[in-house]
Homo-oligomer: A and B are copies of this chain.
């Protein structure tokens, strides 16, 4: 299993890893129970504070853990974890310890009770910023309060879901600094 050396990452730059739209693993903890869910319906909502919104169906076991604990960690896996990511998405929490079942390591976070997943490329510790859209829209609005990102690679091979069991893997990077106004970078 690939091991990453991680470092603190500025939360104001969270968009670098979440705006491209990767599949993420959401870890949660509540009253001694932990869970992990696979999630692809999310978007950035602000830079400062670093806000991030996601849609979670209330039938997911994690829904109540997230709603009650008001905390989570958004973990970004690379493609070598794909089979585990799918396995987590196709299993149900509650009776199953997904960390043990899928050979993942729970590490303590700094600012939240939900655990980091060590094997993921990046971990974003989040506190619930706004609960008002949960019941009606299924939208959780999180503030990223602490971020940990692997020192290398700089350009992770994230996975992006297309439905029907097909994923797109992050490809090459292109930069165009001269085409941007400085204020828009």
Interface residues of A (CB under 8 A from B): 13, 15-17, 19-22, 40-45, 53-55, 79, 82-83, 86-87, 89-90, 133, 137-139, 141, 155, 157, 159-177, 179-181, 184-185
- Contact status A90-B19, CB under 8 Å: no
Q: Which of B44, B54, B161 lies in contact with A41, CB distance below 8 A? A: B44
Chain B: minimal CB distance from A133 (Å): 7
5 nearest A-B residue pairs (beta carbon)? A21-B21, A171-B171, A20-B160, A165-B177, A43-B43
Question: For the complex formed by this chain, how many copies does it contain in all?
Answer: 2
A45: chain B residues at CB < 8 Å are 41, 55, 137-139
- Contact status B169-A173, CB under 8 Å: yes
13 contacts between A and B (CB under 8 A): A19-B21, A41-B43, A41-B44, A43-B53, A43-B54, A43-B55, A44-B55, A53-B139, A79-B174, A83-B176, A133-B137, A167-B174, A169-B171
- Main DSSP-derived SS at the A contact region: mixed
A179 vs B133: C-alpha distance in the bound complex, in angstroms?
A: 33
Q: Which of B20, B54, B55, B138 lies in contact with A21, CB distance below 8 A? A: B20
Q: Which residue of B lies closest to A156 (CB)?
A: B168
A17: chain B residues at CB < 8 Å are 162
A41: chain B residues at CB < 8 Å are 19, 43-45
Q: Which of B13, B19, B20, B168 lies in contact with A155, CB distance below 8 A? A: B168
Q: Which residue of B lies closest to A181 (CB)?
A: B90
A14 vs B57: C-alpha distance in the bound complex, in angstroms?
A: 18
Q: Which residue of B lies closest to A161 (CB)?
A: B19
A16 vs B79: C-alpha distance in the bound complex, in angstroms?
A: 18
